[in-house]
Structure formats: structure tokens, C-alpha cells
């Protein structure tokens, strides 16, 4: 069993927020005060953070985000899906809405994912095995795919990550039964 990371974790709304130095400063103060060790980073694979060249991807903005996390001795929880939850209230009602912010076909996403994981493994493997503490997450997007499609996509993500090591922590979003 893995350690329960959610007891000392904090999430950011968008991975892109971590490119802002003021946001980083505030987050660091919160993390130090609350003794947070894990930073959950959603929407890393958005087109605002990745530049696609002809047959290659530029992950430099994501590197900046992950460098910030690792240089401050924290561990990223990398959320791979494009799922975002919006909550809004109207008088006494709270409306929860799930939105997929990625617009990739499954084939495009898997190509991007393979490239991203390969990039991460080569770039961060030398961090004193810190990479093995990173957590990978692929959430179930109920409004964009069936459970069967999700399980297939999750297994593809799992297999891609496990090509590098079978000890990486990989999780998914809870499934309604």
C-alpha cells in the first residue's frame, strides 16, 4: 500500500498558475505553514502549456512548473486527464459541472502522453530517485466517455508509465457503482 498523500497535499486550480511568481510565493508560504509535501497539478497537458512542433512537443513550460515543485523539495501529483470540476451556487443550490478541457482524440492524447512520459523520465530520473515518489493520476471523465473507454485509457496510461518502472504510484478517479 502507498502512503496517503492526501493528508499532506494541496492542489492548484490550473497547472498554468504555477508559472506566476506571485502565485508560487503564496503557495510556498502555505505549504511551509501547513507542512505540505505534495502538490497536485491538473491540466498539465493543456495546449496553453505545450507547444507542438511538427513531430515533437515543447514541454518547457511544464518543466518550469515541475522544476519549481522539485526545487522546493515537494513532490508533484500529476493529473493527466483534462477533467475540471466547476462549482457554482445560486441561492441555496450548488451546481457541480464537469468539463473536459482537452480536445485531443484518443490517438493524439496517447501520442502526447508517450512523449510527455518519456520526456519526464529522461529529465527527472536523476533526482535521487525522487521521481519514484511522484504520483500519476488519470481521472474518469463521466461526461466524455464510457466506463469501458476510461478503463481502456487508464490501462494505456498505466502501461506507458510502467514501461519505466513498476513501482510508480498511479491512480484514478473513483467510479460510481
Per-residue exposure over 50-89, b if at least 16 CB sit within 10 Å of its own CB, e if not: beeeeeebebebbeebbebbbeeebbbbbbbbbbbeeeee
Other beta carbons within 10 angstroms of residue 114's beta carbon come to 14
Assign 100 a pLDDT band (cuts: 50, 70, 90): low
For residue 138, give Cα distances in angstroms to 54, 93, 102, 170, 171. 27, 29, 13, 8, 6
pLDDT at position 129 is 58
Does pLDDT of 174 surpass 70?
Answer: no
The per-residue pLDDT for range 23-47, each reduced to its tens digit, is 999 999 999 999 999 999 988 888 8
94 vs 131: which has the higher pLDDT: 131
pLDDT at position 1 is 42
Local structure of 51: helix, strand or coil: strand
The per-residue pLDDT for range 115-138, each reduced to its tens digit, is 998 898 888 877 655 788 888 888
Model pTM score: 0.82
Amino acid at each position: 500500500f502507498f502512503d496517503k498523500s492526501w493528508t499532506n497535499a494541496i492542489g492548484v486550480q490550473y497547472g498554468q498558475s504555477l508559472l506566476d511568481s506571485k502565485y508560487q510565493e503564496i503557495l510556498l508560504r502555505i505549504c511551509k505553514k501547513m507542512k505540505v509535501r505534495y502538490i497536485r497539478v491538473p491540466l498539465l497537458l493543456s495546449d496553453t502549456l505545450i507547444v507542438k512542433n511538427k513531430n515533437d512537443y515543447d514541454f518547457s513550460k511544464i518543466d518550469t512548473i515541475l522544476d519549481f515543485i522539485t526545487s522546493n523539495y515537494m513532490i508533484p501529483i500529476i493529473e493527466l486527464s483534462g477533467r475540471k470540476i466547476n462549482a457554482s451556487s445560486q441561492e441555496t443550490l450548488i451546481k457541480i459541472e464537469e468539463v473536459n478541457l482537452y480536445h485531443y482524440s484518443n490517438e493524439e492524447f496517447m501520442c502526447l502522453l508517450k512523449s510527455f512520459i518519456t520526456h519526464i523520465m529522461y529529465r527527472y530520473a536523476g533526482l535521487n530517485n525522487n521521481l519514484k515518489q511522484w504520483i500519476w493520476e488519470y481521472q474518469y471523465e463521466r461526461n466524455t466517455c464510457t466506463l469501458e473507454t476510461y478503463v481502456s485509457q487508464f490501462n494505456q496510461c498505466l502501461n506507458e508509465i510502467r514501461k519505466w518502472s513498476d513501482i510508480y504510484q498511479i491512480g484514478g478517479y473513483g467510479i460510481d457503482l
